[in-house]
Amino acid sequence: MLTTTRPTTGEGAQPDLAALASLLADRTRAAFCTALLDGRAWTAGELARHAGVAPSTASEHLTALVEAGLLAEVRQGRHRYVRLASRETAELIEAMSAAAPKAAPPRGLRAVHRSNALARGRTCYDHLAGALGVAVADAVTRQGWIAWEDGPSLTAEGRTGLAALGAELPARTRRPLVRSCLDWTERRPHVAGAVGAALCSRALEAGWLVRPGGGRAVRVTAEGRTVLAGTLGVPDEVLESAGA
């Protein structure tokens, strides 16, 4: 449990901002949450190796994050699978990442490769980010699918365009159709919300995009290149560098 007294749900209870922030104020726990932004479930051991700490350390951190409700866990045999608790949690971590100061680039050839791959194209929980994500946002804007006055909104053309791509929107949710999400590599917004999620899942499902490393990084396939350049008008340079 946290350092404060047991959480109360009664009247007058006020948010313990420091308690939440403390959970993410540690390099290791922050690394866990950032890794989990790929939306998949990781085992405790995978996260420990990823963050470069002993399994015992990772175990304690995970317990804290799960108890606080940031992560959800599923025990399967001798594995402990863990993922972000909800879309809201993912959005919070996204928002904080965008506001966070930028750390020095990683050292080591492998790490630099991974970092560059993430900068070219990645998923941000359930939508696209990186140079690719921003280019797609620009493209759909140029096509008139999304208008930006008074906040981002989906146009009628956008609705038919998405349908033509085979990207289905959920019906009657409270979730915003289009949400602007500040990209931390490009420092410009990309498309989140139901539309961003539909585009991304359709692209992965149709094989326009693949995840080479199994992580957050995405790569554009040959078919993807045709579709994204043809239908959306995404510039060739971006597709090239985000391609094979």
Point out which span in 39-47, 136-144, 179-187, 235-243 binds a copy of itself (CB under 8 A).
Answer: 179-187
88 binds, among DNA, a copy of itself, none (CB under 5 to 8 A by kind): a copy of itself
Residue 72 interacting with a copy of itself (CB under 8 A): no
Interface pick for DNA out of 59, 141, 143, 201 (rule CB under 7 A): 59
User: Could you give the string, one character per residue 75-94, with x where binding to DNA holds by CB under 7 A and - elsewhere?
Assistant: -xxxxx--------------
For residues 27 and 175, which CB has a smaller minimum distance to DNA in the complex?
Answer: 27
Instruction: Tell me the C-alpha distance between 125 and 112, whole Å.
Output: 22
Residue 163 interacting with a copy of itself (CB under 8 A): no
Is the Cα dihedral 233, 237, 238, 242 positive or negative? positive
- In the range 20-39, which residues lie near DNA by CB under 7 A? 22, 25-28
Interface pick for a copy of itself out of 54, 75, 77, 104 (rule CB under 8 A): 104
For residues 169 and 204, which CB has a smaller minimum distance to a copy of itself in the complex?
Answer: 169
For residues 54 and 164, which CB has a smaller minimum distance to DNA in the complex?
Answer: 54
Residue 51: partners with Cβ closer than 8 Å, 6 or more residues away: 27, 28, 31, 32, 35, 58
Residue 16 interacting with DNA (CB under 7 A): no
- How far the first Cα of the chain sits from its last, in Å, is 47
Closest CA to 72 of 36, 18, 103, 125: 36
Instruction: Tell me the C-alpha distance between 27 and 5, whole Å.
Output: 25
Q: Give the tokens for residue 212.
A: 């080479």
Instruction: Tell me the C-alpha distance between 78 and 60, whole Å.
Output: 16
